[in-house]
Amino acid sequence: MGQRQLIAIEMDVLAKNNKLAAHNREHFDEAAQLVLNLVSSPGSGKTTLLCETLRQLADKRPCAVIEGDQQTSADADRIRATGVPAVQINTGKGCHLDAKMVHDACHQLPANEGGILFIENVGNLVCPASFDLGEKYKVAILSVTEGEEKPLKYPDMFAAAQLMVINKIDLLPYVSFDVARCIENAKRVNPYIQVIQVSATTGEGMDAWLNWLATA
């Protein structure tokens, strides 16, 4: 296939996705729902952060979760164990969620007027950057074991994100990760990006994250 044909197909796919994402966004706005698309590399702590967030938040505000993974329902099972409804989407060979998958999953969730819908994307710092799901914000989670240069190596993701959550700060004494350099790198690709540092396992920084959610 020629390069020109390939580009045309990619543009078609993204245009179709953008249309569906706009449709999703209309529904979310009508229901006054805050919808967040959590993106990161595999294992940065998305599900752990979500479980801790839901434990602290779900009795104050209705919450629901859409989980994206290539295989297994492990993450949705972890979310349901907190008492919050969750739908698992398995993308098979696919490396990201798209707006149609999210649209269909929403129909399997109870009404969530005024609540928060968290979408955990497939662990991947590349493809999910290009696919709008209808969310209000993308939240990029980067853990301190991944290296402070990641925002420069995967700039599209950090450019698309409203917030970077630096997770696993409890491990900072054991790894060489320069937090200030990481923030500087993120701001080079996105001068407006907000930053919160947390440990999903010790709870440090959770107040700042919960405050951000309250005003998002």
Ligand X SMILES: Nc1nc2c(ncn2[C@@H]2O[C@H](COP(=O)(O)OP(=O)(O)OP(=O)(O)O)[C@@H](O)[C@H]2O)c(=O)[nH]1
Told to check if 170 binds ligand X by CB under 6 A, we report yes
Residue with tokens 């990481």: 182
Alpha carbon dihedral 142, 178, 52, 42, in 10-degree steps, equals 30
Closest residue by beta carbon to ligand X:
123
Among the residue ranges 72-80, 87-95, 107-115, 170-178, the one whose residues contact Mg ion (CB under 5 A): 72-80
Residue of the chain from 39, 68, 75, 158 that contacts Mg ion (CB under 5 A)? 75
Indicate which of ligand X, Mg ion, none lies near residue 162 (CB less than 5 to 8 Å, by partner kind). Answer: none
Element (H, E) at 151: helix 150-153
- Taking CB under 6 A as the binding criterion, the range among 23-31, 97-105, 167-175, 186-194 that sits at the site for ligand X is 167-175
Least distance in angstroms from the C-beta of 23 to ligand X:
27
Distance CA 85, CA 64 (A): 5
Q: Does 47 bind Mg ion (CB under 5 A)?
A: yes
174-206: string of b/e by CB count within 10 Å (b at 16+)?
eeebeeeebbebbeebbeebbebbbbbeeeebb
Rounded to a whole number, what is the largest CA-CA distance in the chain? 54
Binding of residue 62 to ligand X (CB under 6 A): no
Q: Which of 10, 43, 184, 214 binds ligand X (CB under 6 A)?
A: 43
Residue 116 CA to its chain's centroid (Å)? 13
Q: Which of 45, 46, 65, 115 binds Mg ion (CB under 5 A)?
A: 46
- Is residue 10 within 8 A of residue 123, CB to CB? The reply is no
| Partner interacting with residue 139 (select from ligand X, Mg ion, none; CB below 5-8 Å by kind) | none
In the complex, which residues of this chain contact Mg ion (CB under 5 A)?
Answer: 46-47, 75
In the complex, which residues of this chain contact ligand X (CB under 6 A)?
Answer: 40, 42-48, 75, 123, 167-168, 170-171, 199-201
